[in-house]
Structure 1
């Protein structure tokens, strides 16, 4: 019995704000039933990236484990310039940790509430 992945959900303090960041970054559409407690973006093949409100949310401390990351998203950027995509994402509110383990083919960034994610070429 194969399972079909239909949603990935991130904890956050403000679901609509975090959904707006990822919507700008990915171009995915906001789910019509999104609200202040849960927002979603509709992805390919029905996959939803969800954002749920958590009281007293604490950001991950990547790469340390004082506050574990729980989840790490990876996005392929095709043949776009890695520096340009990073700059655009940082303008949207992404951060860039000092620790960059992937060399020149990928970057680790953090979303506005601290979840780490990677962007990679190819």
Structure 2
């Protein structure tokens, strides 16, 4: 069987630079590549985050599925409360619907993508 590993994940959005700035500040990842249409972040883990401009982008709706979430990212945090406060300060929002009985926190990035913070 050929060796295959995940190289990266790319999120659709209206403004790649803004969304990359949000995730860069949240995770400490640095810019690897940037154009008006696409930005890539890296941290040498082997899995980069990409952000691509999509015309007429429609943000997902959480928890509803009128516009499905398409994907979500999970981040492990040493201090869950501090990570949540940082994400909110950077422009994330916290929806009322919070599944998991406090084991993780669902937030929405500035483009509306749901992502989860969980304790390490």
TM-score interval (norm. to shorter): over 0.9
Q: How does 1:3-14 map to 2 (within 5 A)?
A: 3-14=4-15
Runs of 4+ more than 3 Å apart: none
Counterparts of 2:82 and 2:5, CA distance in 1 = 34
The reply on whether 1:37 has 2:33 as its aligned counterpart is no
Structure 1 or 2: more strand by fraction? 2
* TM-score normalised by length of structure 1: 0.92
User: Paired residues, what number?
Assistant: 119
Name 1:56's counterpart in structure 2. 56
Counterparts of 1:83 and 1:90, CA distance in 2 = 11
Q: Is there any run of 5+ residues in structure 2 with no aligned partner, and where?
A: none
Q: CA deviation at 1:62?
A: 1.3
Alignment root-mean-square deviation, CA: 1.1
Counterparts of 1:59 and 1:111, CA distance in 2 = 10
* TM-score normalised by length of structure 2: 0.94
Report if aligned partners of 1:75, 1:120 keep a CA contact under 8 Å in 2: yes
The secondary structure found in structure 2 opposite 1:75 is: strand
Deviations 1:19-58 (A, max 9, x none): 0000000000111x31110001013432110000000000
Report if aligned partners of 1:7, 1:50 keep a CA contact under 8 Å in 2: yes
